Structures are given as C-alpha cells and as structure tokens.
C-alpha cells in the first residue's frame, strides 16, 4: 500500500497521522491485499473514502482505490 512500507511503518515524507487514523490505515492496508476479491473489501474502502471522520484517512483510502 502506498502509505506504509513492508514493515507497516509510514513511508518517509508521509505526514504523521494520529493514533486512531494510523491504526485505521494499518488495518485497511492489511485487509485490502489479503481479501482483494471479497465483496465487502471494496465496499468497506468506498465507505471509508466517503464517510471517515478524518480527512487524512479519507484521502489515503481514495488514493488506494485509484490503484
């Protein structure tokens, strides 16, 4: 995923995000590649892209959906 490296750490140059947002990005970055064909995966990502309360999380998910 774009925002995290292979160890799950934020890539250099990425803005620090709060604990909750960082945790959400970490969880979503693990779910998406692990279950790419599960019908709920895209539904979850689209929901977070539109409805996440944190702007940085919404932007991160929108970037992942473009990939």
Q: Is 48 exposed, middle or buried (0-12, 13-18, 19+ CB in 10 A)?
A: buried
Is the pLDDT at 1 greater than 50? The verdict is: no
Which comes out higher in pLDDT, residue 17 or 62? Answer: 62
> How many angstroms separate the CA atoms of 52 and 11, rounded?
22
Quote the percentage of the chain above a pLDDT of 90: 15
* pTM, two decimal places: 0.63
Domain boundaries, the chain: 30-66
Beta bridge partners of 4: 10
Q: 13-52: per-residue pLDDT in tens? A: 455 555 556 788 888 888 888 888 888 998 999 999 999 8
pLDDT range class, residue 7, cuts 50, 70, 90? low
């Amino acid at each position: 995923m774009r925002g995290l490296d292979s160890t799950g750490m934020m890539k250099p140059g990425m803005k620090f995000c709060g604990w909750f947002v960082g945790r959400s990005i970490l969880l979503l970055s693990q779910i998406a590649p692990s279950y790419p064909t599960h019908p709920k995966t895209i539904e979850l990502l689209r929901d977070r892209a539109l409805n996440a309360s944190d702007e940085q999380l919404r932007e991160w998910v929108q970037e992942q959906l473009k990939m």
